[in-house]
């Protein structure tokens, strides 16, 4: 699959005709000002939880692309009341597309919508395109059941938050990768705001010590797996 980074926790996962976008937060991200939001046309959008830095552009992109948003039941209801096509789910739930599959997993984080509406549980996701599976952890701390869900879904690589303060930082993320037996991690949820500005070389060294490669994509950059 091909993965393109749009900043923070927003990635486009593509394979053949399938295109799935995660946690759209672009216009509010000054680091992502060069991204052309109007050109992003996924068929599905995965929203891990209700915080604005994960769904601020979900409605606009869903409407322009006629995409369906997959999220927690509460977040789906909130977007659904704003003319967005949604599928409300929860941890453990799976959605099977024709050539892709999404399974929601637990995450240790909070979730409320920008207007204060209760957002249900924050979620992570296992996203499979063809025979490759990516673990998109969402916003989360490390937790022991990462080992269990890695054993169940056998991800080939993971997208893990590394910015600290609101999620785990790079040292814990490196330990999480080791726990899951992963060799490759794409970092997310760092540098967007002052509290989560990181030392990228230090973050990479935390992973290297564990024998894991940490990939930090430039905004707009793509990588093929
Ligand atoms: Ni959050
Ligand atoms: Mn966040």
Beta strand 213-215 with 184-188 is parallel
Q: What would the pLDDT profile of 152-193 be if each residue is shown by its tens digit?
A: 999 999 999 999 999 999 999 999 999 999 999 999 999 999
pLDDT tier at 136, thresholds 50, 70, 90: very high
The DSSP code sequence of 76-134 is HHHHHTTT-EEEEE-TT-EEE-SSEEEEEEE-SS--B-TTS-B----EEEEEEETTEEE
First-residue to last-residue Cα distance in the chain: 5
d(CA 192, ligand 2 centre) in Å: 10
How large a percentage of the chain has pLDDT more than 70?
100
In whole angstroms, give the CA distance from residue 202 to residue 189: 16
Q: What pLDDT does residue 93 have?
A: 98
Between the CA of residue 71 and those of 19, 39, 86, what are the distances in Å? 16, 23, 8
pLDDT bracket for residue 121 (50, 70, 90):
very high
SS3 content of the chain, % helix, strand, coil (to 5): 25, 30, 45
Neighbours of 202 (CB within 10 A): 11
pLDDT of residue 190: 98
Band of the pLDDT at 51, cuts 50, 70, 90?
A: very high
Compute, in angstroms, the gap from residue 71 CA to the centroid of ligand 1.
14
User: Measured between alpha carbons, how far is 51 from 25 in angstroms, rounded to an integer?
Assistant: 10
Q: Is the pTM of this model over 0.85?
A: yes
Mean pLDDT, all residues of the chain: 98
200-209 and 170-179 are packed helices; what angle lies between their axes, rounded to 10 degrees? 30
Torsion of CA 166, 107, 172, 220, to 10 degrees: -70
**How many whole angstroms from 47 Cα to the centroid of ligand 2?**
11
Helix (H) or strand (E) holding 174: helix 170-179
Ligand 2 centroid to Cα of residue 163, in Å, is 10
**Span 76-85, mean pLDDT?**
98
Q: What's the CA-to-centroid distance between 123 and ligand 2, angstroms?
A: 12
Among all bound ligands, the one having the nearest atom to the CA of 110 is: 1
Structure confidence at residue 119 (pLDDT)? 98
Mean pLDDT of 79-89: 98
Contacts for 60 with CB less than 8 Å, ≥ 6 apart: 37
């Amino acid at each position: 699959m091909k993965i393109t980074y749009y900043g923070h926790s927003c990635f486009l996962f593509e394979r053949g005709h399938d295109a799935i976008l995660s946690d759209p937060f672009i216009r509010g991200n000054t680091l992502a000002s060069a991204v052309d939001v109007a050109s992003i046309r996924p068929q599905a959008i995965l929203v891990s939880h209700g915080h604005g830095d994960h769904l601020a552009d979900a409605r606009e992109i869903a409407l322009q692309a006629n995409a369906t948003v997959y999220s927690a039941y509460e977040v789906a209801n909130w977007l659904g009341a704003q003319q967005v096509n949604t599928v409300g789910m929860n941890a453990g739930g799976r959605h099977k597309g024709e050539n892709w599959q999404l399974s929601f997993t637990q995450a240790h984080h909070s979730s409320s919508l920008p207007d204060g509406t209760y957002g249900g549980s924050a979620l992570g996701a296992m996203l499979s395109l063809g025979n490759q599976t990516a673990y998109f952890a969402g916003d989360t701390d490390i937790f022991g059941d990462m080992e269990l869900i890695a054993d169940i879904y056998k991800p080939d690589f993971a997208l893990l938050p590394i910015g600290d303060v609101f999620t785990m930082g790079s040292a814990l993320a490196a330990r999480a990768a080791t726990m899951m037996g992963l060799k490759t991690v794409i970092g997310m949820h760092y540098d967007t705001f002052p509290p989560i500005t990181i030392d990228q070389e230090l973050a990479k060294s935390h992973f290297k010590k564990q024998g894991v490669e940490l990939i930090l994509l430039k905004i707009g950059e793509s990588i093929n797996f």
